[in-house]
Amino acid sequence: MQEKTVIRFSDVSKVYYLYKSSKQRLMGTLFHHAKCKTNRAVDHLSFEIHQGEAVAFLGRNGAGKSTILKMVTEVAFPTEGEIYVDGRVGALLELAAGFDPEFTGRENIYLKGHILGLHDKEIAALEEDIVAFAELGDYIDQPVRTYSSGMKARLGFSINVNIRPDILIVDEALSVGDEEFKRKCVSRINQLLTNEHMTLMFVTHAVGVAREFCSRGIVMNKGRAIFDGPIDEAIARYDQLIGKK
Amino acid sequence: MIRAMKEIVTDHIHNITQIFKLAKADLIKTYRGAALGWWWAVIKPCMTLFTYWFAFSYGFRSGKPVEGVPFFLWMAVGITPWFYMSEMLSQGTESIRKYKYMVTKMKFPVSIIPTFVSVSKMMVNLVLFLIVMILFWCWGFAPSIYYLQIPFYVLMSFLFFTLWAQFASLMAAISQDFANLVKSFITPIFWLSGILWRTDNFTGSVWIRRFLNLNPVTFLTSGFRDALIFNKWFWETPKKCLYFACWLVVLWVLSLWAYKRLRKDIPDVL
Ligand SMILES: Nc1ncnc2c1ncn2[C@@H]1O[C@H](COP(=O)(O)OP(=O)(O)OP(=O)(O)O)[C@@H](O)[C@H]1O
Ligand SMILES: [Mg+2]
């Protein structure tokens, strides 16, 4: 049976405008009067993702992978085209998961919950699981600015899987975790994929990790999808792209 | 424009509880991590107040009682609302920049950021204003029926500066120059607003006096003084109210325009 579509990109482009100075940028964005260079980070991209699918995005640096995930999260907006997203999105964008550095880990859990519109009671019910999964020890009550990048990723990941998103977005967040934590994440994601019917969008340069739970791969190059299909073929295509035999 | 307005209004309605929770978090963040913590919210304004009082009474020798009210109290009524205003001019303008992790790392209704910062600053200011009212009472000036206008002026001041922050924080997020420009205007606005002297007594050109009286900050501070000292209702000066309403409309249009133009570009530039 074909699952319902949860993410659809129709002919989406994202253009970044590169201005020479802050003044030109102000004039440019307000009145469209300044000259500037443009960079088409995502170029006329179309694809559909169905519920329960786990899709890996592969590509070289600057290929536009993060930009795609940002657009799904609604942190960036497409210049052209339309994006349809159905369901609650949990996102770990580019390592930092959006914590307030001055607050402790625990306070950040509440802050994040409030932002998502959860009540104190609901958050309190999740708190234990989140803290246990992150395994931060006493640091959970220390300000987040004192965390190492791996610790931030742990907390961010822990929050995002425990709020039970319909769509989980992970952008290289696992690459700073140690092996043990990576394994734990992989098994948790696999469990969510099979039991909860969650949808996953995953970006990584470590193709081995992608193979562990993704069934489909999209290879990006200069803002275009040059391959979209089964993960093994996608990885082969990607290896060819980066010149690995 | 209509779309922008609809978006801002629905964002505020859907997130009304978040606004208060985030305002609380903002307060905690501002005052925690110092040994005296919450006392700084009171100590800092008191220092400023005493400094000006000292300078005016002993330096300029001009601290005469106004309408029978000691100069110190007269000054306190004007300067206390200004603490909120100056915070909004500086930190309200920078609010989106300060909370950029909410913009670039998660889906978040950006328009509520200036609002919750404004709520947080207003909370502190209400406490300060309450202290001023208690001081009045201790000095033997019992509350009058005119005190009923205080909520009106508080609301006007909140509206004005929240709209201001809605506009300015978007602009400042795009351009640091704008933030610096606003900062450099804070001191001139302070001295040209009749916070420390009475613009009605200005003896120079009529035009300059009119200009000074058009200043929205003058309207607000003199409003608080009308309520506590001069026993005047705001509807006794309908023209001034109308001017102020025009200001509100202008700011409102500007904030919608900025939102429409800049909302989608903000995450890309931060
Ligand atoms: N805020 C921005 N302003 C201007 N250009 C940007 C911005 N964000 C990304 N870009 C440009 O868009 C292109 C795609 O960037 P993106 O972050 O999507 O790459 P990526 O595929 O995630 O790369 P990486 O593997 O290094 O993470 C790059 O050329 C980048 O320079
Ligand atoms: Mg990236």
Q: Which pLDDT score is estimated for B167?
A: 94
Are A81 and A15 part of one and the same domain?
yes
Q: Which pLDDT score is estimated for B82?
A: 92
- Phi-psi label, residue A94: left if phi above 0, alpha if psi -120 to 50, beta otherwise: left
**Ligand 1 pocket member A66 (CB < 6 A):** yes
Does residue B64 have a pLDDT over 80?
no
Q: Please write the tens of the pLDDT for every residue from B211-245.
A: 777 788 888 888 898 888 888 888 888 888 888 89
Are A63 and A179 part of one and the same domain?
yes
What are the DSSP calls for B80-147, one per residue?
A: HHHHHHHHIIIIITTHHHHTHHHHHSS---TTHHHHHHHHHHHHHHHHHHHHHHHHHHHTT----GGG
Among A117, A132, A159, the domain boundary falls at A159
Atom 30 in ligand 1: residue holding the nearest Cα:
A62
Tokens for A210, please give them.
């992608």
Q: Please write the tens of the pLDDT for every residue from A29-48.
A: 777 776 778 888 888 888 88
Q: Which pLDDT score is estimated for A138?
A: 87
Q: Which of residues 171-200 of B touch A (CB under 8 A)?
A: 171, 174-178
In a domain, A111, yes or no: yes
Residues of A in contact with B25 (CB under 8 A): 100, 103, 107, 111, 114
Q: Please write the tens of the pLDDT for every residue from A128-171.
A: 888 888 888 888 888 888 888 888 888 888 888 888 888 888 88
Closest ligand to Cα A222: 1
**Ligand 1 pocket member A223 (CB < 6 A):** no
Does residue A245 have a pLDDT over 60?
no
What are the DSSP calls for B10-76, one per residue?
A: HHHHHTHHHHHHHHHHHHHHHHTTSTTGGGHHHHHHHHHHHHHHHIIIIIS-----BTTB-HHHHHH
Which of the pair, B107 or B183, is modelled with greater confidence?
B183
Q: Give me the number of domains chain A comprises.
A: 2
What is chain A's mean pLDDT, rounded? 84
Where in the sequence is the domain holding A62, given as residue range(s)? 5-87+166-242
Does residue B258 have a pLDDT over 60?
yes
Are A65 and A171 part of one and the same domain?
yes
**Ligand 1 pocket member A229 (CB < 6 A):** no
Share of chain A above pLDDT 70, in %: 96
Q: Please write the tens of the pLDDT for every residue from B162-213.
A: 999 999 999 999 888 888 999 999 988 888 887 877 766 777 777 777 777 7
Q: What is the dihedral of CA B95, B96, B102, B105, to 10 degrees?
A: -150
Among A134, A159, A184, the domain boundary falls at A159
Q: Which pLDDT score is estimated for B253?
A: 94
Q: Please write the tens of the pLDDT for every residue from B67-80.
A: 778 888 888 888 99
Does residue B87 have a pLDDT over 70?
yes
Q: What is the dihedral of CA B79, B81, B87, B92, to 10 degrees?
A: -150
**Ligand 1 pocket member A39 (CB < 6 A):** yes
Are A30 and A148 part of one and the same domain?
no
Task: Report the predicted TM-score, pTM, of the whole model to 2 decimal places.
Answer: 0.88
Best residue in B96, B175, B260, B264 to probe A by mutation, most A CBs within 10 Å? B175
Q: Please write the tens of the pLDDT for every residue from B111-159.
A: 999 999 999 999 999 999 999 889 888 888 878 888 888 899 999 999 9
Distance from chain centroid for Cα A193: 16
Closest ligand to Cα A63: 1
Q: How many CB pairs under 8 A join A and B?
A: 76
Q: Which pLDDT score is estimated for B147?
A: 85
Which of the pair, B6 or A28, is modelled with greater confidence?
B6
Are A59 and A172 part of one and the same domain?
yes
Domain extents for chain B? 2-269
Least confident of A111-125, A178-192, B28-42, B135-149: B28-42
Tokens for A206, please give them.
């470590």
Atom 31 in ligand 1: residue holding the nearest Cα:
A62
Are A190 and A233 part of one and the same domain?
yes
**Ligand 1 pocket member A73 (CB < 6 A):** no
Are A143 and A28 part of one and the same domain?
no
Do the Cβ atoms of A83 and A47 come closer than 8 Å?
Answer: no
Task: Report the CATH number that the domain containing residue A190 is assigned in CATH.
Answer: 3.40.50.300
Q: Which pLDDT score is estimated for B126?
A: 92
Among A112, A128, A159, the domain boundary falls at A159
> Is any Cβ of chain B less than 8 angstroms from the Cβ of A95?
no
Distance from CA of B203 to the nearest CA of A (A): 40
Are A11 and A82 part of one and the same domain?
yes
Atom 26 in ligand 1: residue holding the nearest Cα:
A61
Which residues lie closer than 8 Å to B49 by C-beta, 6 or more apart? Answer: B75, B76, B79
**Closest CA relative to residue A112, chosen from A95, A132, A92, A142:** A92
Residues of A in contact with B14 (CB under 8 A): 117
Are A13 and A131 part of one and the same domain?
no
